[in-house]
Amino acid sequence: MRASPLPWIAIATACTAGTPEAERLELPESAAHPRAAAPAIPDDPIARRGVGTCVDAQFPAPQRPRDEGSTMTKTAQLRRFGAIPCAGDREVWLRPDGELDVCTLAAPTTVFGLALAGDNYTHFHPGGRPEQTTLAKPHTLTTKAGVELPCAAEFVALDDAGHVEHCTLARDHAFGDIVCRRGESIALRPTTGTLWACVIDRPFALDGTPIAAGTRVSWHERGTVESVYSPQPLVIDGIAVRYEIALHPDGTLAHYTLDEHRTIGGIALDPFAQVWTYPDGRPWHLEYVAERGFMIHGEPWTDTRSVTFACDGSILRDRTEHFQATSPPRPPR
Find all residues with CB under 8 Å of 315, minimum gap 6, and list them. Answer: 37, 307, 308, 309
Residue 205: other Cβ atoms inside 10 A: 8
Instruction: Dump pLDDT digits (tens) for 78-131.
Output: 999 999 999 999 999 999 999 999 999 999 999 999 999 999 999 999 999 999
First to last CA, the chain: 33
The domain locations on the chain are 75-131, 138-202
d(CA 102, CA 268) in angstroms, rounded, equals 48
What is residue 22's DSSP assignment?
G
Task: Give pTM, 2 decimals.
Answer: 0.80
Point out the least confidently predicted range of 39-43, 56-60, 108-112, 320-324: 39-43
Nearest to 323 by CA among 281, 284, 282, 295: 295
What per-residue confidence (pLDDT) applies to 21?
Answer: 40
Which string of b and e fits 145-159 if b means at least 16 CB within 10 Å? eebebbbbbbbbbbb
Instruction: Dump pLDDT digits (tens) for 33-55.
Output: 444 344 456 776 665 666 677 88
**3 state SS of 239:** strand
For CA atoms 252, 255, 258, 263, give the dihedral sign: positive
Tell me how many degrees the CA angle 311-235-41 measures, rounded to the nearest 5: 40
In single-letter form, the type of residue at position 79 comes to R
